[in-house]
Amino acid sequence: MRARSGSLLPYCVVAGSMSLGYGSIYTLLADLRDRYGFSEAQLGYIVAAGFFAGFVTQLALARLADRGYAPMLVRGGIVLAMGAMIGSAVATEFWAFLVARLLLGLGSGAVGPAIRRIVITRDPEAVGANLGRLAAFDVAGFMLGPLIAAVVAQAFGIRAPFVFLAVVFVGVFVLASRLDLTAGTAGEHTGRVLRRLLARPAIQATLAASIAFYLTVGMFEAIWAVRKTAGGDPRSGRTVAREAVDGPSFDALAAAHSRALATMSGDIAVAIRAAHASKR
């Protein structure tokens, strides 16, 4: 049975909501450093912990989505993300923030493959279009996370964004509990499926592109958000880059994104040279 694109919207909302937690931490890095005295290395570990846990979780648990456990993965992952936000809201030590981010990665890593499996099985004839919509919601959630965190923190304090996102995840759990999360089971596969996939050049190229993208995101945030002024005081850097998209295609969007990253890279280079010059 073919599903209408509109009927997949709630699943996309669930996926996008999980990305909110990933992105929210970025605008709070400088505040966490000022309030709790975290070093740049500790902030890097906090940010990286979520992505690393998500990566490992997807490798280890994604196959369960093919075996009929998609509902458990989605609901359990949302509960873990909810717990991660509550943990972040009450945390005051480095290890507590680290554990909370690990829980967030575990939750998001469990939800992602299950939602993709559900979307694929709902409409096998439009897999590309539906996965594209799902990815768009993922990116939108990742982009909205820092904005929401900044606005809420400015209004109510540094702990408020975590409380707000915990409430959001409660709503997402209620939404997910009303959805049909069944996705059937895949046929039996022989051999090492993952190893065969990794041997394909197309898969290797896709993984390399994904690694490069997230590596740049992590490096920008670690360097730019908490760089120091000439006087030694930490300060948040801000770069606003607007690039017009030349067409409706994904390639045009990627090209505009690349131009914006190039602008940000130039500003970071200027800041680094100024910092080195001030030390001489």
Q: What is the mean pLDDT of residues 11-16?
A: 91
Contact 218, 49 (CB under 8 A): no
Maximum Cα–Cα distance across the chain:
69
Domain count along the chain: 2
DSSP category for residue 238 = -
Task: Tell me the range of 108-112, 119-123, 218-222 where mean pLDDT is highest.
Answer: 108-112
Same domain for 77 and 111: yes
Residue % of the chain over a pLDDT of 90: 25
Residue after which a domain boundary falls, among 187, 213, 248:
187
Q: At what angle do helices 70-90 and 40-65 cross, to 10 degrees?
A: 160
Same domain for 139 and 222: no
Residues 205, 208, 256: CA angle, nearest 5 degrees:
90
The pLDDT, as a whole number, for residue 55 is: 85
Q: What is the mean pLDDT of residues 149-162?
A: 90
DSSP category for residue 74 = H
Same domain for 35 and 11: yes
Does the predicted TM-score (pTM) go above 0.75?
Answer: no
Same domain for 168 and 49: yes
Compute the 3-state secondary structure of the chain and give helix, strand, coil in percent, each to the nearest 5.
Answer: 80, 0, 20
pLDDT tens by residue, 191-215: 566 678 778 888 888 888 777 776 7
Same domain for 153 and 120: yes
Same domain for 235 and 162: no
Whole-angstrom distance, CA of residue 109 vs CA of residue 115: 11
Same domain for 166 and 42: yes
Whole-angstrom distance, CA of residue 236 vs CA of residue 229: 9
Q: Specify burial of residue 178 (Cβ count, 10 A radius: 0-12, 13-18, 19+).
A: exposed
Q: What is the mean pLDDT of residues 2-26?
A: 80
pLDDT tens by residue, 107-120: 999 999 999 999 88
CATH number of the domain encompassing residue 103:
1.20.1250.20
pLDDT tens by residue, 31-68: 888 888 888 788 888 888 888 898 889 888 888 888 88
The pLDDT, as a whole number, for residue 169 is: 95
Whole-angstrom distance, CA of residue 17 vs CA of residue 13: 6
Residue after which a domain boundary falls, among 187, 209, 241:
187
Same domain for 239 and 158: no
Same domain for 179 and 74: yes
Same domain for 196 and 183: no
Neighbours of 84 (CB within 10 A): 28
Whole-angstrom distance, CA of residue 273 vs CA of residue 278: 9
Whole-angstrom distance, CA of residue 48 vs CA of residue 26: 11
Residue 8 has pLDDT above 80, yes or no: yes
Q: Which domain holds residue 80?
A: 1-187
| Confidence label for 279 from pLDDT (cuts 50, 70 and 90) | low
